[in-house]
Structure formats: C-alpha cells, structure tokens
Amino acid sequence: MDSARSVGRTRTRTRTQLSPRAAEVEDLEQGGLCGKIQNCIDYLITGDFVGLFKSCKRSVRNCIKHYGERYDNFVDWIAKTAKEQEHRANDASMQHPFPTIRMIVNSNAFEFVGNLVIFCNTFVVGWQAEISPKKATQAEQDLSMLFENLFTFAFVFELSLSTMCWGWTYLVKRENWLDVFLVFLGVLTTWILGPFGIQVDFLRKLTALRTLRLIRLARAVRFRPEFKDMWALVKGLTEAGETLFWTYVMIGCVLYVFAIIGTSLIGKAEAFQDSALAQEYFGDVALSMLTLFQLMTLDSWTGFARPLMEIEVWTGGFFILFISVAVFVMLNLVTAVIVENAFSDSKSEEKELAVRLEREKEEELEDLKQFFLQLDLDGNGSLTKQEFFKATKQRKIRQKLRALDIMPKDIDELWDILDDGQGEMSVQDFQASIRRLRGEAKAKDILRLYKEVGQFESSVEEVAEHLEKSRRRLRNLQDQLSHCKVDVVAFTRTLVRAKEAVKMAASTQNMS
C-alpha cells in the first residue's frame, strides 16, 4: 500500500511538472480512456483530489474543445457546400445534374407562380378560419379538404424543385426553415394523419401559419426601390425575436427585484396589513410582479397608487423610481437597440445588393464575351468593321442587339460610336463600350464628358488664337505686299521716265 502510494505521488509530481498539452499526450500514450480511468483510480488511492480535479477539468476542457472544433468544421463544410451549390445553380456555364429544373426555378415565371399560390392560399386560410367545424356543410368540408390537398401538393412540388436546383443545403438554410416546417406539417396532417382518421386539431390549426409565407412576397421584391421601406419593416419584425427575448428577460429581472422590494415594503408592512387594496396588489411576489407590470404599461396605475400614498407617502417615491427605471430607461434602451439593429440590417442589405449587382455584372460580362465571339467571324480575338457589319446581317445577332436596346436603324452608326479610331476592337474594349451603351449615364461619365468638353473647348480656343495670329500675319503680309506694289509702280514710273530721258538725250545728241 505504501509502495503504491509512493508510486502515485511520484506520478503526481511528474504530471504536475508537465504542461497541459504534454499531460494530454501522456494520457493518450497510456491507453486513452482506459489510461485516464487508471489515472483517476491512482488519484483516488493516493488521495490526490487536487490532481484528480485538474485531470478531470483538463479532460472536460479538451473534450469540449475537440467537439467544438468538429462542430465548427461541420458548419464550415455546410457553408462551403451551400456556396458551391448556389454558384452552380446561378452560373449557367457550369454543369448541373438537372439543367431543365435549374432553368425553370431561376425563371421569373416560377417565382411569379409561387407567389401567386401563396397569395391565394392566404385567402383560403382566412376562409377556412371562418368555417365552424360543427356548422360546416359537407360541401364546405369537401372543398376545404380539396384546397388542403392542392396547396400541400403545390408547396411540396415547389420545395422539391428548389431542392433539386439549389441542392440539399437549401433545406438547412435559416431563411427556409419556416417553409420546410410548414410543408412537413401540411404533409403530416393532410396525407399521413388524415387518411388514417387521426384527428389532431392542434396540428391542423398550426397550418394557419402558412399565412406567414407572405414574408416571401416581401423578400421577392426587396431589391426594388419602391419596396425598400416595406422590406425594412418586415425584416425588422422578423429579426426582432432575439431582441424581444432578452427584453422579456430584463423586464422579468427588473419586475422580480422590484416585486421583492414592493412585497417587503408594502405587502408585509404593518401599516398596510389592514388594507385590502395593498394585499390585493402587493400580497405576494407574484401579485407584486403583476401589479408592477401594470404600472410599467402606465395602465390605470393611479387607481392603486393614490390610495396607498394616502396611507404612506413614501410609496409614491417607490412608484416613481420604478417608472424611471422600467419605463424611462429600460424601454428607451430597448428602442435604441431595435433602431441600431435596423441600421445594421440596412447596411447588410446594401452589401447584399452590392454582391448581387457584382454577380449580375459578371454574368453580363460573360454574355458580352459570348456575343463578341459570335461577331468575331475569323476568331482572331479582334473585331473589325467588315466583320461587324457582316455579322449584324444575321438574324440572331440582330435579336441580341435588340435585347441590348439597339434598334436596326442604329446599327449603321453603332460602329462609329464604339470604335476609338483604330479600326478594330478587342473583347475588353467591346465589353466596356456595350456596357456604357446599356447603362445609364453615371456621375463619373458626366464628369468625364465635362472634362473632355473642357479639353475640346481649350483646343478650340488654341486653334482660334492660332487663326487670329495667322490672320494678323496675313494682314501684315498684305500690307507689305501693298507697299511693295506701290514701290514697284513707282519704280516702274521711274524706269519709264528714265527711258524717256534716255530717248530724249539720244535724240538731242543726234541732232547735234
């Protein structure tokens, strides 16, 4: 016994000198779970409860860390798989196991029909709520069951197509939990329990929650500017659940603390023992919490506050203190938290919209690239004027240009607009030019145009100055030519006179 105790103490001293990681490795080397059990027995035999506690604490911590890492890896794997499946469903160039279903689900008609079914189901649920099960006729019951089967089939069909398009991760996304639950509930009550004659009124009443599918209508139009405010309100209501939960927790804590104080100071006080009103409102903690909740809502609280203040004046201070804490402070803090969440949701919506626009931009670039390859007849990567006009004579190319809001009458001047004077265009230049033609004029485009107009205006002014200088030089040259002409005329007259003088001199000399 002494030898075993000495061995245990030696092992304890050795383990205490090791780091936690080294001790864990030592435990694993000693046989895993069996080694740990043996170590625990040694600790118990030697009476080293401190070592036993540290060993158990380290084992629990490592176990929590291990399973935490596995959970994080599982969540990351699901997120990665969901992203890959979503990219595969959105990118038409990627191979999909169900290409026809992907085309149907991504079409606007599928979304329109789904929203129409939800809208009609909302009215049917309202009609079913008005029907009394005991007073309903057989025709009304049959019609109600027919609607149940039709809408259940429609929702199951819609969920199946969406799952086949977006992958199995579509079912585990948070925004689809309500749809999956309602579809499962409809199948359970209509197609499983119903045919067996099992009446589950509670589950059947839960099918009225299908009206919450109207949130999908708001989600479908959330990116349209005219529905931006409506979606902000809907998302604020749907995502305020966590805030409301903690609000109720805080309200419960505040009510409980003040209820204890109120019960001690009012309900159990000697001054209020003969007051039936005090015992009715503050007789115990539960009654005090209910009374303080009424006080927090400011609902007829003076009906019990004034009579109690007539007995003891200081109760007014207690009520004012509670109102200050519960109403003026806590409820305003709750409002501030909700507003802050709304602002953060708005920022996240802007980021989501930016990601969506970026994805649409990439799809547009791919479409323009494919369009360019259709125009590039020789396939050399550059488009010439001859290739452009030859390709635009094809029917498919004209339909594509019409889809880009380029009418056939504009084709003749389209090349002059796209070409920068080099006589050919690369795929990047073609994409950039077509995108500028499709999009609206942005601030940077207007600024660039304003800058180019300013440069052109400066160039025109320089040309005007050069023209003015040339005009002055021509005027000076014209004046010089005029002076030269006068000099030539004068020189000519001088020559004529000299010639006449020579003739006269010659004739005079002959006469002499």
* Alpha carbon distance 27, 15 (integer Å): 10
Give the CATH number for residue 247: 1.10.287.70
* Alpha carbon distance 375, 359 (integer Å): 25
- Say yes or no: 250 and 339 in one domain: yes
Is residue 230 a part of any domain in this protein?
no
Grade residue 20 by pLDDT with cuts at 50, 70 and 90.
very low
* Alpha carbon distance 293, 12 (integer Å): 58
- Please state whether the predicted TM-score (pTM) of the whole model is above 0.85: no
For residue 168, the 8-state DSSP code is G
**Looking at the 3D structure of the chain, how many domains does it have?**
4
- Say yes or no: 105 and 174 in one domain: yes
Residue 26 has pLDDT above 50, yes or no: no
Q: What is the pLDDT of residue 14?
A: 45
Backbone angles phi, psi at 134, to 5 degrees: -80, -30
Backbone angles phi, psi at 40, to 5 degrees: -65, -40
Of 2-11, 103-112, 338-347, 428-437, the least confident: 2-11
Query: Which whole-number Å values give the CA distances from 191 to 7, 152, 183, 262, 386, in the listed order?
Result: 69, 9, 11, 55, 66
Is residue 486 a part of any domain in this protein?
no
Give the CATH number for residue 160: 1.20.120.350
Percentages helix, strand, coil for the chain, rounded to the nearest 5? 85, 0, 15
Q: What is the pLDDT of residue 405?
A: 64
- Say yes or no: 432 and 336 in one domain: no
- Say yes or no: 389 and 432 in one domain: yes
Is residue 21 a part of any domain in this protein?
yes
Q: Per residue in 38-66, pLDDT tens?
A: 777 777 777 777 777 777 788 888 888 88
Is residue 508 a part of any domain in this protein?
no
Query: Which whole-number Å values give the CA distances from 392 to 110, 388, 397, 410, in the listed order?
Result: 33, 6, 6, 11
* Alpha carbon distance 207, 185 (integer Å): 7
Of 24-38, 386-400, 436-450, 466-480, the least confident: 24-38
Q: Per residue in 226-273, pLDDT tens?
A: 666 776 777 777 777 778 888 889 999 999 999 999 999 898 888 888
- Say yes or no: 249 and 327 in one domain: yes
Query: Which whole-number Å values give the CA distances from 9 to 22, 307, 363, 480, in the listed order?
Result: 18, 73, 71, 124
Residue pair 58/20 in contact by the 8 Å Cβ criterion: yes
- Say yes or no: 298 and 381 in one domain: no
Residue pair 128/201 in contact by the 8 Å Cβ criterion: no
Is residue 456 a part of any domain in this protein?
no
Half-sphere CA count of 453, side-chain side, radius 13 A: 6
Residue 12, C-beta contacts closer than 8 angstroms, at least 6 positions apart: 43, 46, 48, 51
In terms of residue numbers, what domain contains 245? 241-355
Is residue 477 a part of any domain in this protein?
no
Grade residue 323 by pLDDT with cuts at 50, 70 and 90.
very high
Residue pair 186/151 in contact by the 8 Å Cβ criterion: yes
Is residue 502 a part of any domain in this protein?
no
- Say yes or no: 64 and 115 in one domain: no
Q: Per residue in 182-212, pLDDT tens?
A: 888 888 888 888 777 776 666 666 766 777 7
Query: Which whole-number Å values give the CA distances from 323 to 245, 254, 295, 314, 330, in the listed order?
Result: 21, 11, 7, 15, 10
Is residue 471 a part of any domain in this protein?
no
